[in-house]
């Protein structure tokens, strides 16, 4: 499947399937759309009438035309004044799904450009279209053996109409999709395939392919750094922990130094507080969704070459049970010297992140962002599609929120209510790792805060959106690659 940046319009292009994005304001037809209707002998108007197509976002319709274009499709863009890059990404995804369903080999895609809006320039529209199409058509067949089960597509060429010369958008979109797809595949792969060791290998592959620096800290090195919280989580597994530190350095003096940390639990059994039936334990392969987004962002950023230096970090481990397991009630000492009473071994992500945050701060970065499938409570609060955003630093929180808006990923800021730290008070240690059930995402964030001294920091609880059961927009069932686009957008805007 390849993209062609074409100077053709919907009036001149011919091929297998032409799909036009229409906003609600485009109906009744006028101007070039009326001309297109003439070109197809009135079949466009007939399609609008028969399908009762109004241009509503998320709707589509298709009709057979012949005469240079075999099929004509419409995808709704919603109200013209609420048009944004994400609407276009979703419309492009719908167009790609339509062309696939109609067994087309070529797709000509026409989406509107808004001249006075930089967010909807030819460049932005081209990039959104490529992202939408690529992500919608990506299907993960790695673990299917039956050819018939593989979601093959007949699509060979996608012609983006009126986009000639937008080569940098094509490259940017492909870099971003590379990253999102890597993250999806890491999340979707089971825990017997993606282990701390293979996560480290993936980091190695990125480093080798794109010239990044890589440091993998083995257990002994982490011990020497005093990472008792992280190692406590890792100690029951037969698989050794791998502390991943991948670094992108721009050619010139960096404009900023940033750290991105991803929770990297390749499997979370809960430990001795083992997850019971109905807890979703069989889904806990996705507990490295933060690490997946981190590595996905690294893969994209390595290709996009922004001006900031970026450290990609994950304290990867597996939370298991064995005679070596940490016991509920054990006291661990993190690398900043703070002691933690582990009152629940299933609140393990924050223990691994504690040492990763201390490590990141020692790098003297200007900002730290962590992404973690940290709490079920965040899913209860915000549902499957929205991630929690926590920060005491308004400027950084705003920068992340703006990046997310552009990227079309949803976050909602939740309070870092200091008073709730009382729920983590321990009689014997500096703190417990688990507070009461109410406000569980907030106490988790407050726990992490104990490991960041002065660096601006945002914590993103991505437990819900890293996985989806259903096809929606440009996502397919499985890992979503959530977080990659926001991270890339944030770093690129620095």
The residue sitting closest to Mn ion, measured at its beta carbon, is 346
Q: Is 461 in the site for Mn ion (CB under 5 A)?
A: no
Element (H, E) at 2: strand 2-5
Residue from the set 131, 287, 318, 370 that interacts with ligand BES by CB under 6 A: 287
90 a catalytic residue: no
Q: Which stretch binds ligand BES (CB under 6 A): 8-16, 115-123, 231-239, 371-379?
A: 371-379
Burial class for 134, CB neighbours closer than 10 Å (0-12, 13-18, 19+)? buried
Handedness of CA 345, 338, 214, 177 (dihedral sign): positive
Q: Is 463 in the site for ligand BES (CB under 6 A)?
A: yes
Q: Is 318 in the site for Mn ion (CB under 5 A)?
A: no
x/- letters, 373..412, toward ligand BES (CB under 6 A)? xxxxx-----------------------------------
CA nearest to 463, candidates 362, 346, 366, 312: 346
Q: Which stretch binds ligand BES (CB under 6 A): 36-44, 147-155, 225-233, 342-350?
A: 342-350
In the complex, least distance from residue 191 CB atom to ligand BES, rounded to whole angstroms: 12
In the complex, least distance from residue 414 CB atom to Mn ion, rounded to whole angstroms: 19
DSSP letter, residue 147:
G
Rounded alpha-carbon distances, angstroms, from residue 412 to 382, 386, 396, 473: 8, 7, 14, 20
Cα distance between residue 107 and residue 88, in whole Å: 16
170: tokens are 């094509």
Instruction: CB nearer to Zn ion: give 185 or 287.
Output: 287
> Number of C-alpha atoms within 13 angstroms, CB side, residue 49?
6
CA nearest to 301, candidates 486, 56, 121: 486
Residue 375 touches which of Mn ion, Zn ion, ligand BES, none (Cβ within 5-8 Å per kind):
ligand BES
Instruction: CB nearer to Mn ion: give 135 or 317.
Output: 317
Q: Which stretch binds ligand BES (CB under 6 A): 60-68, 118-126, 136-144, 345-353?
A: 345-353
In the complex, least distance from residue 287 CB atom to ligand BES, rounded to whole angstroms: 4
Q: Cβ(361)–Cβ(368) under 8 Å? A: yes
Residue from the set 346, 361, 370, 409 that interacts with ligand BES by CB under 6 A: 346
Whose structure tokens read 């201390």?
358
Q: Is 361 in the site for Mn ion (CB under 5 A)?
A: no
Residue 434 touches which of Zn ion, Mn ion, ligand BES, none (Cβ within 5-8 Å per kind):
ligand BES
89 a catalytic residue: no
Instruction: CB nearer to ligand BES: give 76 or 290.
Output: 290
In the complex, least distance from residue 60 CB atom to Zn ion, rounded to whole angstroms: 38
Instruction: CB nearer to Zn ion: give 21 or 290.
Output: 290
In the complex, least distance from residue 263 CB atom to Zn ion, rounded to whole angstroms: 7
The residue sitting closest to ligand BES, measured at its beta carbon, is 376
Residue from the set 346, 355, 409, 461 that interacts with Mn ion by CB under 5 A: 346
Q: Cβ(371)–Cβ(260) under 8 Å? A: yes
Question: E-strand spans in 220-262?
Answer: 242-248, 257-262
Q: Is 268 in the site for Mn ion (CB under 5 A)?
A: yes
In the complex, least distance from residue 364 CB atom to Mn ion, rounded to whole angstroms: 31
> Number of C-alpha atoms within 13 angstroms, CB side, residue 247?
14
Residue 463 touches which of ligand BES, Mn ion, Zn ion, none (Cβ within 5-8 Å per kind):
ligand BES
Q: Which position among 56, 275, 338, 413 bears the catalytic label?
A: 275
Q: Hey, which residues between 218 and 277 contact ligand BES (CB under 6 A)?
A: 268
Q: Is 280 in the site for ligand BES (CB under 6 A)?
A: yes
CA nearest to 275, candidates 238, 316, 319: 319
CA nearest to 322, candidates 237, 251, 256: 237
DSSP letter, residue 165:
T
Residue 55 touches which of Zn ion, ligand BES, Mn ion, none (Cβ within 5-8 Å per kind):
none
Q: Is 140 in the site for Mn ion (CB under 5 A)?
A: no
CA nearest to 131, candidates 483, 475, 430: 475
Rounded alpha-carbon distances, angstroms, from residue 179 to 128, 228, 477: 15, 32, 18
Alpha-carbon torsion, ordered 381, 354, 487, 188, to 10 deg: -70
Instruction: CB nearer to Mn ion: give 19 or 444.
Output: 444
244 phi and psi, to 5 degrees?
-95, 130
In the complex, least distance from residue 46 CB atom to ligand BES, rounded to whole angstroms: 48
Binding site for Mn ion (CB under 5 A): 268, 346, 348
Residue numbers annotated as active site:
275, 350
């Amino acid at each position: 499947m390849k993209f062609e940046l074409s100077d053709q319009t919907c009036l001149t292009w011919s091929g297998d399937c032409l799909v036009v994005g229409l906003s609600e304001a485009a109906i009744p037809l006028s101007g070039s759309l009326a001309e297109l209707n003439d070109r197809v002998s009135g079949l466009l108007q007939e399609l609008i009438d028969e399908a009762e197509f109004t241009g509503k976002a998320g709707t589509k319709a298709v009709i057979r035309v012949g005469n240079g274009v075999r099929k004509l499709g419409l995808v709704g863009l919603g109200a013209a004044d609420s048009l944004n890059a994400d609407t276009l990404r979703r419309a492009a995804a719908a167009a790609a799904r339509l062309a696939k369903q109609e067994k087309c080999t070529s797709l000509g895609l026409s989406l509107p450009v808004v001249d006075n809006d930089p967010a909807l320039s030819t460049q932005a529209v081209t990039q959104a279209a490529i992202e939408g199409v690529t992500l919608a058509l990506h299907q993960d067949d790695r673990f299917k053996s039956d050819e018939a089960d593989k979601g093959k597509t007949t699509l060979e060429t996608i012609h983006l109409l009126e986009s000639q010369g937008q080569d940098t958008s094509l490259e940017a979109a492909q870099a971003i999709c590379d990253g999102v797809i890597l993250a999806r595949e890491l999340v979707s792969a089971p825990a017997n395939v993606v282990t701390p060791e293979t996560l480290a290998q993936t980091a190695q592959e990125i480093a080798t392919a794109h010239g990044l620096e890589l440091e993998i800290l083995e257990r002994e090195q982490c011990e020497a750094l005093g990472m008792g919280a992280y190692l406590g989580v890792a100690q029951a597994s037969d698989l050794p922990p791998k502390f991943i530190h991948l670094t992108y350095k721009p050619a010139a003096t960096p404009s900023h130094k940033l750290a991105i940390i991803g929770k990297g639990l390749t499997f979370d059994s809960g430990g001795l507080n083992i997850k019971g039936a109905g807890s979703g334990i069989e889904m806990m392969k996705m507990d490295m969704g933060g690490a997946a987004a981190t590595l996905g962002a690294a893969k994209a950023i390595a290709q996009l070459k922004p001006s900031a230096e970026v450290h990609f970090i994950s304290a990867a481990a597996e939370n298991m049970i064995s005679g070596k397991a940490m016991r509920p009630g054990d006291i661990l000492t993190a690398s900043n010297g703070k002691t933690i009473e582990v009152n629940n071994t299933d609140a393990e992500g924050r223990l691994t992140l504690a040492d990763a945050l201390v490590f990141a701060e020692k790098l003297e970065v200007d900002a730290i962002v962590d992404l973690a499938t940290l709490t079920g409570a965040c899913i209860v609060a915000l549902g499957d599609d929205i991630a929690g955003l926590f920060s005491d630093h308004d400027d950084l929180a705003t920068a992340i929120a703006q990046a997310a808006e552009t990227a079309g990923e949803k976050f909602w800021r939740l309070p870092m209510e200091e008073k709730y730290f009382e729920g983590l008070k321990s009689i014997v240690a500096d703190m417990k790792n688990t507070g009461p059930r109410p406000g569980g995402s907030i106490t988790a964030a407050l726990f992490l805060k104990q490991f960041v001294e002065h660096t601006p920091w945002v914590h993103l609880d991505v437990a819900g959106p890293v996985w989806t059961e259903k096809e929606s927009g440009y996502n397919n069932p499985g890992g979503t690659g959530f977080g990659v686009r926001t991270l890339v957008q944030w770093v690129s805007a620095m």
